[in-house]
Amino acid sequence: MTPATDIFAELNVALEDRSYPIVIGRRLLENSDFARLVPGKRVAIVTNTVVAPLYLATLTAMLEGAGKRCIAIVLPDGEEEKNVDNLMRIFDTLLQNKCDRKTTLLALGGGVIGDMTGFAAATYMRGVPFVQVPTTLLAQVDSSVGGKTAINHPLGKNMIGAFYQPQSVLADTATLMSLPLRELSAGLAEVIKHGAIIDAEFFRWQEDHMPELMARDDQALAYAIRRSCEIKADVVRQDEREGGLRAILNFGHTFGHAIEAGLGYGEWLHGEAVGCGMVMAADLSVRMGYLEPADRERIVALVRAAGLPIVAPDLGVHRWLELMEVDKKNEDGKIRFILLKPLGSATMTGVPSDLLEATLKACVVH
């Protein structure tokens, strides 16, 4: 008997012949009806040592019950594992199992697994089908949607990758119940980001409902995921390859990526670094005359309420600048930032060095 499934939303990322559905619901991994969104008869499930014991058997049983053959590739967990060695582990297993161009790669996990699996799918035999099954809030609201795939390099985060859209995204909210609180908070950083850059009303909704989100209320989480996916899907539709508009989705990320690289990948979670990065970007927005100080304080308060850090590590001004100079948005050696102008709207710009240094000094731990 097919288990009952709560469907909260079904969206579409409209990219002409690369369009695909996003299904947000509870208990999707148990329902064989959704095997139709996983193309082909052979599926290579890429996951990690934390997620595999929780959901690999359930997902495999669902897919095999629908007549598919599955193999599993279980990688170590952690941002520090998003590297070329683990990418090669994926390729090794695919080649050892004689996987062909009709084999679908399925990412079962958070953003690290999604990014690496997507990059493997983009490059294995020059492209095979790819499905996202995100199991963290951060992946469900952000990284699983839009087709950005990558691995990290010691000199820069996400600098080696490809734009490669999935065939579908299946976001099962039941997986969020097993998330550590720290991981839940990390996902809320991207939810906050979507409100801050595009939808001031959504930002206000979060201010009113952050306690429910932190308590994992089903309806609150479902709305936050759906609205975030709607916002990101619309941005991706307009600018799939980050030629202009899509760059605003990097609000807080220039500072955040510097924190991750400066401390060492995995020391802070990506969402923690982005949360703190948004506080820093809001401070810089005020110094540029783009944002009211009261709205900066609203951002600080919401980031704090989500359980995220609001004070950055003191890397030293020279090291901060060095790290931020390795960023995909930069042009002609100049650092470009996504700033709020005002809350609910974003712009990309260079900034005077004295204002940037003032933000760096004001926002770090003393």
Known active-site residue 30:
no
| Predicted local confidence at residue 1, as pLDDT | 44
| Predicted local confidence at residue 164, as pLDDT | 97
Determine which one of 16, 36, 98, 126 is catalytic.
126
Q: Which residues pair with 69 in a beta bridge?
A: 42
Determine which one of 194, 250, 272, 296 is catalytic.
250
How far, in Å, CA of 115 to CA of 152, rounded?
A: 10
Residue 91 parent element (H or E): helix 84-96
Cα distances (angstroms) measured from residue 339 to each of 197, 211, 216, 235, 289: 8, 27, 30, 17, 10
- Residue 215 DSSP SS3: coil
| Predicted local confidence at residue 2, as pLDDT | 58
Determine which one of 190, 230, 260, 272 is catalytic.
190
Structure-token match 């401070």, residue found: 283
Determine which one of 253, 287, 328, 336 is catalytic.
253
| Residue 178 near residue 52, CB atoms below 8 Å | no
Determine which one of 26, 232, 287, 296 is catalytic.
232
CB atoms within 10 A of CB 57: 11
Known active-site residue 201:
no
Q: Token digits for 322?
A: 């060095």
Known active-site residue 242:
yes
CB atoms within 10 A of CB 182: 12
Q: Token digits for 259?
A: 């924190």
Known active-site residue 190:
yes
- The beta strands (E) that lie in 61-195 are given as 69-75, 104-109, 130-134, 148-153, 156-163, 168-172
Question: Residue 20: phi, psi to the nearest 5?
Answer: -155, 160
Determine which one of 82, 193, 226, 246 is catalytic.
246
Determine which one of 89, 148, 157, 287 is catalytic.
148
- Residue 153 DSSP SS3: strand
Determine which one of 226, 270, 298, 336 is catalytic.
270
Q: Token digits for 345?
A: 């709207």
pTM of the model: 0.94
User: What is the chain's pLDDT, residue by residue, as a tens digit (366 residues)?
Assistant: 456 789 889 999 999 999 999 999 999 999 999 999 999 999 999 999 999 999 999 999 999 999 999 999 999 999 999 999 999 999 999 999 999 999 999 999 999 999 999 999 999 999 999 999 999 999 999 999 999 999 999 888 898 999 999 999 999 999 999 999 999 999 999 999 999 999 999 999 999 999 999 999 999 999 999 999 999 999 999 999 988 899 999 999 999 999 999 999 899 999 999 999 999 999 999 999 999 999 999 999 999 999 999 999 999 999 999 999 987 777 767 899 999 999 999 999 999 999 999 999 999 987
Q: Which residues contact 364 (CB under 8 A, 6 or more apart)?
A: 311, 312, 313, 314, 315
Question: Residue 308: phi, psi to the nearest 5?
Answer: -105, 155
How far, in Å, CA of 42 to CA of 62, rounded?
A: 13
How far, in Å, CA of 274 to CA of 267, rounded?
A: 13
